[in-house]
Chain A
C-alpha cells in the first residue's frame, strides 16, 4: 500500500492534521488530502503571503524561471520518483491510458522549461523586467507590472497539466498562490508543488495546493476573502457561483468550457496528402480522448477535392483505428458509453429516415466517425466520437459554427492554402481564439492568448511613472 500525499501546504505538518480524506486508486495506491479547516487554511494563507512578501515579491523573474525550469526538468526524468508516481497514479485517477498520460506529461512539461517560459514572458511583456522594476515604457516614462498578492485558483476537469500551467503563470507574476485541485486530477499540481519546494524551499513556501470538494463554503470563504485575484476553471454554473461569492473588488478570471473544430480544405485532400491529413485529424480527436477544450467535435471538409468529405470520414475512421494502437482510448464510465450508443443509434435512424449519413464504428465504443451531409454544427458526446460535415466552400464553416460563437476556441485548419489568412480573419471575428494546423491543435503553445486573453497580462496591474 502506497499512500500519496496529494497536497502541499506550507506551515502544515502531516502529524498535525486532524482529519484526512482518503481515496483508493488501483493497485494499492491511496491518495490523501487533509480535510481543510478554515482556521488552518487561514494560517496557510498567512504563511504563503508572508513568504511572498519576504522573498518572492523581490526575486528577479529570471530566478523564478530557473526554479520552475529545474522542477520541470526533474519531472521529465524517467527515474524521478515523482514522475514515476504520476505515471502510475494518473491513469487510475483520470481514466486516460498510460501511453496517453506519458504523452501529456511530456508535452506539458516542455512548456514549463526555461525556453518556453522566457518566450512566454517576452510575448506577454516585451520587456519581462517590468515584473522586477520600473522600465522604460513604449511612450516615454516608465512602467512596472505587479502581480496579485494572493491568487486563488479553483481547478476543474481531469486533463493533467492544465492546473500546473495556471500555477506557473501565477508564480511568474510573483503571486502567493493557492490552488484548489479538481477531484478529477488532484495529483499532478501537488507533485509539482512538492518538487518546486524541493528545488527551492523559499519559492515552495509561497505556493499551496490541496483538494476539497468544490463549493465547500467554509474553506472557500476564507480563500475568497483573502485573495485579490481568483482564477476559476469550470462550467457556467461554477463560475456564477464563484462570481456571487467573491467580493466585488476581487479580480476574477474565468476559464469556462470551450469548443473546438477542424476545417479541411481541398489542398489537404489530394490523394498524396489525405493520409497525413486524416492521421493528424485522428490525433487531434484522440488526444485527451477528446475531453480537452482544444479537442475537435467535428471536422468540416471541403467538397470538390480529390477525396470528398464522405470518403474522408472513412479515412479518418481508419486513422483512428491506427491511433488506437499507439494511444489507446482510456476508461470511460457506463454513462459515457451509453451516450455513445445513443448517438450512434440516432445517426443510424436518421440515415434510415433518408438523411445522407454514413456511420463508421470501431470495436465496442473505441471510436465513432459520423459523416453527416447536414452542415449544421453538431456537438459530440466526446471520447473519440467525431462528426464529418461537408462544406461547399471553406469559408462556409463560419456560418456553420456561428450559433456557438461564444464558446468557440480552437480551429484546426488544413489545406486552406492562400485562403488561410482570410479564414482566420473571419473565424477571429466571431470569437475563435486560436487558428492552427491539425497537428498542433491539441498542444497550444505557452504563449497562446488563452481563450483570447494574455495569460500573464490578465493577472497583473500596472503602475506608470511619468518623468
Chain B
C-alpha cells in the first residue's frame, strides 16, 4: 500500500516540475519527488510484522527481520537530496539577484 502512496508522490513531483514556472516551486516539486522516492526505497525493505534487524539473544528467524539495507541507502539519498536542495536555493538566490523575479516567464530569456 505504501508503495502506491510513494508512486503517487513521485508522479505529483514530476507533474509539479513540468507545470510550474516558478523557481522556488520547482525546487519544492523536486523535494516532493525525492520524498516519494525515499518512501519507495524504504517500502522495499518492509516485511509484514517484521522486527528491527538487531541481533539479540532471543532465537528469532532471520526471515522475520526487515531488510536494513534500504534504510542505509535512504539515509545517503536524503543527505544528497538536502545537498541538491541547498544548492538549488543558492542558484535561486542568484537568479533573483540577476533578474529580480522568480517567475521564469518574466525573465525575458529563452
A, B co-complexed:
no
Which A residues contact B (CB, under 8 angstroms)? none
